[in-house]
């Protein structure tokens, strides 16, 4: 059985979303990085980087939330989160790396500035620079979503989940998505899925 480490209100929520989509049994150990719990010997034995999330499943030990989701989908979500066709599976890998490299740095950078940095220390130039990078990423995403309903074909997959989980930072920072209508509609639909709503509820208590 999968054990998932990390408090819900962290990148761990991405993995909870994937596990809930598949209805898998799992154990959740909510190590809190804000309380230093990820720097304890117990946790460092699982992830020497001292960051959440992390996952164990038998002899599998993994870190990196988006890669962990590829593992979950590939191992337990065949024909569901993990497409049956090779072209779809290729897109899952592509869009996951895209989320990590093209979208997350600017989306998280903006979130850190706008939500986690006290107002007097915020730097508007930094926020604006992140916004420009985000716009370029949204152009790419919107174009893809005008060509197909979902990122890896005609059904929701781990490609959508991984990108939407990162794009959620844009919603949380009230980024105006109206210039990218296909991406906006797709994101709202992904985030409204019952499995993600369940995880949002879990965040309120953890």
Q: Name which of 15 and 134 has its Cβ closer to ligand GSH.
A: 15
Contacts (CB under 6 A) with ligand GSH, residues 63-102: 63-66
Q: Name which of 31 and 186 has its Cβ closer to ligand GSH.
A: 31
The sign one gets for the Cα dihedral 36, 38, 42, 48 is negative
Which token pair is 82?
A: 């993990």
Phi then psi dihedrals of residue 10, to 5 deg:
-165, -175
Binding mask 26-65 for ligand GSH (x = CB under 6 A): -------x----x-----------xxxx---------xxx
The rounded distance, in Å, linking the Cα atoms of 55 and 71 is: 10
Q: Name which of 112 and 149 has its Cβ closer to ligand GSH.
A: 112
Q: Least Å distance between CB 206 and ligand GSH?
A: 13
| Total residues interacting with ligand GSH, rule: CB under 6 A | 12
The verdict on 11 binding ligand GSH (CB under 6 A) reads: yes
Q: Least Å distance between CB 39 and ligand GSH?
A: 7
Return the bridge partners of 82, or none. 78
The verdict on 162 binding ligand GSH (CB under 6 A) reads: no
Burial class (CB in 10 A: 0-12, 13-18, 19+), 186: buried
Q: Name which of 20 and 64 has its Cβ closer to ligand GSH.
A: 64
The rounded distance, in Å, linking the Cα atoms of 204 and 92 is: 30
Q: Name which of 8 and 142 has its Cβ closer to ligand GSH.
A: 8
Q: Least Å distance between CB 10 and ligand GSH?
A: 4
The verdict on 109 binding ligand GSH (CB under 6 A) reads: no
The verdict on 105 binding ligand GSH (CB under 6 A) reads: no
The residue ranges that bind ligand GSH (CB under 6 A) are 10-11, 33, 38, 50-53, 63-66
């Amino acid at each position: 059985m999968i054990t998932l480490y990390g408090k819900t209100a962290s990148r761990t929520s991405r993995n909870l979303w994937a596990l809930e989509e598949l209805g898998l049994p799992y154990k959740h150990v909510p190590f809190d990085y804000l309380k230093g719990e990820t720097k304890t010997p117990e946790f460092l034995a699982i992830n020497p980087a001292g960051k959440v999330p992390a996952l164990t499943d038998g002899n599998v030990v993994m870190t990196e939330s988006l890669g962990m989701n590829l593992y979950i989908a590939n191992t337990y979500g065949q024909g569901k989160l993990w497409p049956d066709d090779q072209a779809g599976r290729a897109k899952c890998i592509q869009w996951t790396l895209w989320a990590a490299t093209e979208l997350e740095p600017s989306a998280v950078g903006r979130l850190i500035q706008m939500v986690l940095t006290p107002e007097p220390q915020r730097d508007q130039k930094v926020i604006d620079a992140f916004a420009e990078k985000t716009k370029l990423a949204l152009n790419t995403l919107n174009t893809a979503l005008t060509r197909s309903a979902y990122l890896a074909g005609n059904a929701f997959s781990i490609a959508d989940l991984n990108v939407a989980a990162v794009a959620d930072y844009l919603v949380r920072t009230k980024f105006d998505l109206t210039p990218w209508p296909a991406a906006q509609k797709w994101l709202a639909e992904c985030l409204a899925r019952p499995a993600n709503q369940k995880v949002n509820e879990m965040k309120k208590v953890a």
